[in-house]
C-alpha cells in the first residue's frame, strides 16, 4: 500500500508540474508569475523527495528480479520526463506570439509520449474500466489554458476485447477503415488528467486454480 501511495503521489506531482508550467507560459511578469515559479520549485523538490522515498522502499522490499525490472523501468520513465521538463521550453518570453507558445508547449508535452499508464476505456455495455496503456501521442490543441485541455492518444498494452487490439494495418497506413469504423483500435483519445499510474502485471503469481481471462477464437 505504501508503495502504491508513493506512486500515486509522484504521478499527481508530475501532473501538477505540467499544469504549473502551462500557467507560467500564459502569465505576464509580476508577483503572480513569481508565485508560480516558487510553486514550480516546490513541486520539483517534492518529486525528487518522493522519488528518493520510493527508491528506498524498493531497495528494502525488492526480492525478485521482476521487482527490480519494474523499478528500473519506472526510473527511466521518470528520468525522461524530468529531463524534458528541465529544459524549460514551456517558459517563454512575453513578446513571443501565441502560436509560438502553443508550438513550444506541444514540444514540452512530447516528454510524456512513450510513457506507460492506466487509461480509461468505455466498453460496449457502458462501464468505464481502467487498463494498462502506452501514450502514443499528444493531441494538438489551439489553446492550452489548463490541465483539462490536454488530451493524449493511447494504445492498450493488455487488451481484453477486440476493439482494444491495435489495428494490424495501422502502422503500414494500409487500413481501409477510419478510426470509428475499424473493428480494431487506431488509438483511443483520453484526457491526460484522467490517467493513472501504470501497474505492471505480476504474471509470476499465476498458479493452478487462478482465475484468468482466456482468449477465444472470436
The terminus-to-terminus CA distance of the chain in angstroms comes to 38
Tell me what pLDDT residue 62 has: 61
Which long-range CB contacts under 8 A does 145-149 form with residues at least 24 apart? Answer: 145/22, 145/26, 146/19, 146/22, 147/15, 147/18, 147/19, 147/22, 147/192, 147/193, 148/191, 148/193
Secondary structure (3-state) at 112 = helix
Cell of 176: 481501409
pLDDT in tens, the chain (218 residues): 467 777 777 777 788 778 777 777 776 777 777 877 888 888 888 788 878 777 777 777 665 445 455 545 556 665 666 555 555 444 444 444 455 555 566 666 777 888 889 999 988 888 899 999 999 888 877 776 666 778 899 999 888 888 888 888 877 778 888 888 888 889 899 998 888 888 888 878 878 887 776 766 65
Tell me what pLDDT residue 145 has: 66
Tell me what pLDDT residue 120 has: 94
Secondary structure (3-state) at 211 = coil
Q: Which CATH architecture has domain 113-201?
A: Roll (2.30)
Tell me what pLDDT residue 90 has: 44
| Sequence-ordered strand ranges (E) for 89-156 | 116-122, 128-138, 151-156
Amino acid at each position: 500500500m505504501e508503495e502504491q501511495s508513493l506512486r500515486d503521489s509522484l504521478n499527481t506531482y508530475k501532473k501538477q508540474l505540467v499544469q504549473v508550467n502551462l500557467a507560467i507560459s500564459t502569465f505576464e511578469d509580476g508577483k503572480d508569475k513569481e508565485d508560480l515559479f516558487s510553486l514550480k520549485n516546490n513541486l520539483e523538490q517534492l518529486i525528487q523527495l518522493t522519488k528518493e522515498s520510493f527508491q528506498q522502499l524498493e531497495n528494502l522490499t525488492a526480492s525478485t528480479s521482476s521487482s527490480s525490472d519494474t523499478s528500473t523501468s519506472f526510473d527511466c520513465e521518470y528520468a525522461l520526463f524530468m529531463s524534458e521538463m528541465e529544459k524549460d521550453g514551456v517558459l517563454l518570453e512575453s513578446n513571443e506570439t501565441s502560436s509560438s507558445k502553443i508550438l513550444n508547449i506541444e514540444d514540452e508535452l512530447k516528454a510524456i509520449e512513450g510513457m506507460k499508464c492506466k487509461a480509461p476505456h468505455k466498453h460496449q455495455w457502458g462501464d468505464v474500466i481502467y487498463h494498462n496503456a502506452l501514450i502514443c501521442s499528444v493531441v494538438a490543441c489551439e489553446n492550452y489554458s489548463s490541465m483539462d485541455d490536454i488530451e493524449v492518444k493511447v494504445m492498450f498494452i493488455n487488451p481484453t476485447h477486440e476493439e482494444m487490439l491495435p489495428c494490424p494495418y495501422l502502422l503500414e497506413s494500409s487500413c481501409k477503415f477510419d478510426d470509428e469504423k475499424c473493428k480494431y483500435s487506431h488509438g483511443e483519445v483520453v484526457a491526460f488528467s484522467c490517467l493513472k499510474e501504470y501497474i505492471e502485471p505480476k504474471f509470476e503469481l499465476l498458479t493452478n486454480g487462478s482465475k484468468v481471462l482466456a482468449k477465444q477464437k472470436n
